[in-house]
Structure 1
C-alpha cells in the first residue's frame, strides 16, 4: 500500500496522532539540529524562558553564549547585548498564537478520546467538570501567593523552583488538564466496573475536594507566612468572595430568567448549561469591576488592575470616552462586565437544539472550554482580592 493510500485510510483520530507526533519530532529535531533558531529563539524565548523567569521572580531571563542569566531590574534587561535572547514573564503575540493553536489542536484530540471512551455526549459530563474550573483558578492563586512570599522581606517561598514552574501559566493549564483527565478516567473505570453507579458524581466530588483543599492551602499560606508581615497587606477578606458569588448568581439568574420568559427559543438548546455559562462569565466581570472600582467599599487594602489586554483596553477606552465625573461616580471597569454578559448571551443563543442533536459531544466540549475561559480567570481575580495578594 502506498503512502497516499495509507494516508487516505487514516481515521481522524489516527491522523491527529500522526500530526501530533510529526509536530513533536519537528520541534525536537529542530532543537537538536538548529538549536539557536528553533530552541533558543522560539521555544525558549517565547514559551519556556518566560516561565523560567517568572519562577524566579526575575524581570527577565537572558540566554547568551550557551549560558542563562536571570536579571532583576528593567534597566539590566534593557542593557543586554543585541544578539542575546531575552525572555520576560507574561505573554507575547507569538506565544498567544502558539497557545491558541495548541488549544484548538488539543480540543480535537480530547474530542477523539471522548468518542473512543463513549463519553461527553450527555449533559452530566458538563456539570461534573464545573468544580475543576474553580479549581484551576484557585491553583493560579497559589502561584500568586507564592510570588508574594518571594517578594516579601523575611518570607520564604512555600514552593520553590523547579516545582513552582508547574503552577505558572501556561504550564499550569496542562497540570489542571492532566488532573482532570486522570480523575475522569478513574471515575469511568469505577463506573464500568460497577463500583459506582455513575462516573459524574465521582468527578464532581473529586473536583470539589481539590478546590476546597487548594483554597484551604492558600488560606494557610497567607495567614501563616504573609499576613502581618512588613511590606504586604495580605490577609483574609471573605466579603469579596461572598459579594462576587451573590452578584454573579443574581445577574446570571435575571438574564437567564428573562431569556427563558421572553425568548425561550434562545435557551431551549442549552437549558441549565446556559445558566452556568452566564454565571461563569458574570463572575469574571463582577470580580474585575469590584476589585478595580469598588475595592474601598468592600474594605480591600488596595485596588486591582487588569492583567488581560482586553480588560485593560476596555477600561482605557471608558476613561477616555466618558466624562471624568461619571467615571469617578460609577467607575470605568463596568463595560467589561457588560461585554462578558453580551458574549455569554451570544454563546447561549448560538448553541441551539440543532447543534446538540447533530453533535452533542462537540457542543458540550466547546461549552466546557467557553465556561473555563470565564470561570477560571474570574475565580483567580476573586480569590486574589479575597486574600489581598
Structure 2
C-alpha cells in the first residue's frame, strides 16, 4: 500500500467511543449468530473499499473537524467496521440481508468517491489514466491466477467459492497499483515488509529496466494463492470461521488497493 502520510490516532474520547461501538457491534453480531459464507465476503467487499475512499477524503482535508479523526488511519478501519456491522445487524431483519448489506456498502463507496473526484476536478488534479490502468492490470492478473488455481486445485476452488476471486482481485489490484505508484508516479512505499521486497528487487540487474514493483506484485499474488490453498481445508471443516478469516485476508488487499486507485486519481500530478 502506498502511504503518503503517517498514521495518526484520534483523541482519547473518540478512540474510546470507537472501541466501545466496535465492541457493541461485535456483541450484536455474535448474539444474532451471523454465519459467514463466501457470498457474505462478496457482500462485504464494498465496505472494504468504503473505508479506503473515506480515508482519501480525509487526506484532502475537507471533512468536518469533529469527524475527521475517525477517518484517519488506522481509525478509519474501525469506523468502517462499526458502520458496516450496524448495517449488517439491520439487514439481518430483512428477507435479503446480503443484498442490503452490499447495496448500502456500494452507496458508502460512491458518496466519498464522488466527493474526492469533485474536489480533485475543482482543483485541477483529477486524472484517471493510471488508476484505470491499475484496475485493468489487477483484474487481468486476478482472472488469470484464478483460472490457473481452478485448473490445478479444482476442489479448493470450489470450496472457497466466490471468496477466492475477491481475495485474488484485492491483492492483485494492490500489487498492480503499488507497482504503478512506485515505478511510474514516484510515490514512496512506507509499509516495512513491502519496502523490503522492493529493496530486494532494486538490487537486481533488472531494476533499471522494469523497476522494483513487479516483485511486490508477484509476492502478493503468490501469498494470496497460498492462503486460498491452505485455508480451503479450514473452510471445509469450519465454514463460518474459515470464510471469516478469508474475509480479513481479502480486506487487507482490497482496502489498500482501493486507496491507491482513488489516491492516484485525485492526487497524481497532471501529465499522467
Give the structure-2-normalised TM-score.
0.85
Structure with more helix by fraction: 2
Deviation at 1:52, TM superposition (A): 5.8
Deviation at 1:130, TM superposition (A): 0.7
1:306-345 aligned within 5 A:
306-319=189-202, 321-323=203-205, 326-345=206-225
Are 1:207 and 2:105 counterparts? yes
Q: Tell me, in whole angstroms, the C-alpha distance in 2 between the residues paired with 1:281 and 1:117.
A: 31
In our comparison, the structure showing a higher alpha carbon Rg is 1
Note if contact 2:91-2:100 (Cα within 8 Å) is conserved in structure 1.
Answer: yes
* Cross-structure match for 1:376: 255
Q: 1:52 to 1:369 in 2, by over 3 A?
A: closer
**1:214-235 Cα distance to aligned partner (Å, 9 max, x none):** 10010122223x33xxxxxxx1
Counterpart pick for 1:278 among 142, 160, 168: 168
Are 1:165 and 2:81 counterparts? no
Q: Tell me, in whole angstroms, the C-alpha distance in 2 between the residues paired with 1:134 and 1:272.
A: 17
Unaligned runs of 5+ in 1: 1-48, 54-101, 147-157, 192-196, 228-234, 296-302
* Cross-structure match for 1:125: 40
Q: Tell me, in whole angstroms, the C-alpha distance in 1 between the residues paired with 2:56 and 2:109.
A: 12
**1:160-218 Cα distance to aligned partner (Å, 9 max, x none):** 534311111122122111110111111112x1xxxxx3110111111001101110010
Counterpart pick for 1:144 among 40, 59, 73: 59
* Cross-structure match for 2:137: 247
Give the structure-1-normalised TM-score.
0.61
What secondary structure is seen at the aligned counterpart in 2 of 1:306? Answer: coil
Q: 1:266 to 1:125 in 2, by over 3 A?
A: closer
Higher relative contact order (CA 8 A, sep 6+): 2
What secondary structure is seen at the aligned counterpart in 2 of 1:307? Answer: coil
Unaligned runs of 5+ in 2: 1-6, 12-18
